[in-house]
Chain A
Amino acid sequence: MPVLLELRGVTAGYGAGEVLHGVDLTLDQGEVLCLIGPNGAGKSTVLRVVSGLLRTGRGRVLLRGEPLDRLSPRERLLRGIVQVPQERSLFPAMTVWDNLLMGGYLLDGTRSGRREVRRRADALAERFPLLAERRRASAGSLSGGEQKQVELARALLLEPALMLLDEPSIGLEPRARRAVFDTVGALAADGRTILLVEQNARSGLAAADRGAVLESGRVRLTGSGAELLADPRVARLYLGAGGEPQAQQPDPHSRER
């Protein structure tokens, strides 16, 4: 499979503080890569650098070999990079349906674009029954799990080349968390390219083709999910930096692919 995304020695940070100290990472077309690591390792920062919310310091971010570093989030979106952020990202006072349509904001400036957005929205409503059932409900009235499903559906409206999912299961109750990983699995089966960040290492790696362990702003290990879960260094990294025990605990919701 050709390489879709490549990070070469990327540094980035907030203000004077550098969070990423030279991240190297590649992601093949159609691959799901799960980025794990302790709190503060810079996992979300990697996603923000790729989506353009945060500027790259040194190094380069390439999509199909084309450098992205000077492009705005909007221009990256036009190239097919969609990010679902960790925090809730629906517009709470808008209806579920309007939230979904906002996913096609870039396209709906023209009449034909609007038609296309509606066609895609209808198709997504068949895939995500929630969208049709709660169509007119205000997004703020949905449960956390339902909101995440709408966010994932909305991200699909642009038919993205690359999806960046930042801790999609965080703060959700077990059933909703399972639903999120089921959706990620279904997207992977569709051949979507996904860069997934997960605190819940077991579930994240189970849903991914490959994993990468980030620690203190650098990629320390890469490998298949099973390799990483069996690697004693992963456990040590997790327990060493801030005592994140999730990698150690058996997760009842994990699935092997």
Chain B
Amino acid sequence: MHETIQAIILGLLTGGVYALMASGQTLIFGVLKVVNLAQGALVILAAYLSSSLFVSFGIDPFLTVPIVAPALFLLGAAVQWCLLRPLHRSDASQLSLLVTFAVALGIEGVLTLVYKSDYRTIQPSYANRSWTVAGYRIGEVRLAACLLSLAVLGALALLLGRTRFGRAVRATVQNPTAARLLGVEGDRVAALGYGLGAATAAAAGAVYGMVYSFNPNSHYDLISRLLSIVVLGGLGSLGGTVVAALAMGVVSALVGALISPVWSDFSFFVVLLAVLLVRPQGLFGARLRGAL
């Protein structure tokens, strides 16, 4: 029993970090109808930038987020403006897959050139410290990472729900032509939306680098998980994404602890397949479609 609860705690904390990474993916899909294959690479890029700032300047990995996030915001907005915007509307959804994959490969290439392909982790002094609460171990980094995720997700929800920009985003997601007819500049909203999605990858990257070891190729593994979460949550639903990420985290941790770590990753995809067999639209796909 103790082992089960410990696994659930670990799973929830890990799921929180995945929720952050995948929420950017969901936002981009919602606004642009683009399956952003570069999201994993953006997370890894952020992990490297965070690692460099920590190693070279001694900046705490969590404090690198406010530096790396604006940089990735600009990169994301530039990718949308320069590479995705010019795509012809009729075949944009297929071509955007190729374009975002190309961006992922480009980032991977640059990272390999600059950092080589060795694995690394970000190791602040508190990386391996943990608290023990009622006999259960809670890693400091994982807890802080999960809290950061919740804070960023909360900020994202406020931004979408309460601001003029948020209304423009939601309007564009729900009815792009109508939004345009009311004066919403679709291209600008799309660029800001992609930028915002990339910025969440920045927050996630710093955290990812402390929890997992990574190299420039790590984005392949990451993107397959992110896509699974986004599909499981019901494409385009932020709430669904968070629930799916937590569910995936818990299932992986439980399987890892109770059966074997070998099956842990695999269980991720088994859950996806099982859910899609019963609910092809994902957990929240039908109810919240278009709501973000």
Q: Which of B174, B182, B183 contacts A93 (CB 8 A)?
A: B174
Distance in angstroms from A89 CB to nearest chain B CB is: 4
A142 within 8 A of B: no
A22 within 8 A of B: no
B2 within 8 A of A: no
B-contact bits for A77-119, CB 8 A (1 contact / 0 none): 1100011010111111110001001110110110000000000
Given contacts A74-B185, A94-B170, A102-B167, contact A89 B180 (CB under 8 A): no
- CB distance A74 to B177 under 8 Å? no
Q: Which of B167, B168, B181 contacts A83 (CB 8 A)?
A: B181
Does more than half of chain B's interface fall in helix, strand or loop, or is it mixed?
Answer: helix
Q: Of all chain B residues, which has the CB nearest A73?
A: B180
Most chain A C-beta atoms within 10 Å of own C-beta, residue among B170, B182, B185 = B182
Distance in angstroms from B218 CB to nearest chain A CB is: 36
Residues of A within 8 A of B288 (CB): 93
- CB distance A94 to B171 under 8 Å? yes
Residues of B within 8 A of A88 (CB): 175
Q: Of all chain A residues, which has the CB nearest B171?
A: A91
Residues of A within 8 A of B291 (CB): 93
- CB distance B167 to A90 under 8 Å? no
Given contacts A105-B167, A105-B168, contact A92 B174 (CB under 8 A): yes
- CB distance A91 to B183 under 8 Å? no
Most chain A C-beta atoms within 10 Å of own C-beta, residue among B178, B291, B292 = B178
Query: When chains A and B are docked, how far (Å) is the Cα of A207 from the Cα of B175?
Result: 29
- CB distance B170 to A93 under 8 Å? yes
Residues of B within 8 A of A74 (CB): 180, 183-185
Given contacts A92-B290, A93-B288, A93-B290, contact A105 B174 (CB under 8 A): no
B129 within 8 A of A: no
- CB distance B183 to A77 under 8 Å? yes
Query: When chains A and B are docked, how far (Å) is the Cα of A82 from the Cα of B134?
Result: 63
A221 within 8 A of B: no
Query: When chains A and B are docked, how far (Å) is the Cα of A94 from the Cα of B292?
Result: 11
Most chain B C-beta atoms within 10 Å of own C-beta, residue among A90, A103, A105 = A105
Q: Of all chain A residues, which has the CB nearest B90?
A: A15
Range of interface residues on chain B?
Answer: 20 to 34
For window 20-73 of A, CB contacts with B under 8 Å fall at 51, 53, 73
Residues of B within 8 A of A102 (CB): 167, 171, 179, 182
- CB distance B170 to A105 under 8 Å? no
Given contacts A93-B288, A108-B164, contact A51 B181 (CB under 8 A): yes
- CB distance B182 to A103 under 8 Å? yes
- CB distance A94 to B182 under 8 Å? no
Q: Which of B170, B174, B177, B183 contacts A85 (CB 8 A)?
A: B177
A-contact bits for B163-205, CB 8 A (1 contact / 0 none): 0100110110011011111111100000000000000000000
Residues of B within 8 A of A85 (CB): 177-178, 181
Residues of A within 8 A of B175 (CB): 88-92
- CB distance A94 to B183 under 8 Å? no
Most chain A C-beta atoms within 10 Å of own C-beta, residue among B164, B181, B288, B290 = B181
Distance in angstroms from B258 CB to nearest chain A CB is: 39
Residues of A within 8 A of B164 (CB): 105, 108-109
Query: When chains A and B are docked, how far (Å) is the Cα of A105 from the Cα of B167?
Result: 9
Q: A-B pairs with the 7 shortest C-beta distances?
A: A89-B178, A93-B291, A106-B183, A91-B174, A74-B183, A77-B183, A105-B182
Interface residues of B (CB under 8 A from A): 164, 167-168, 170-171, 174-175, 177-185, 288, 290-292
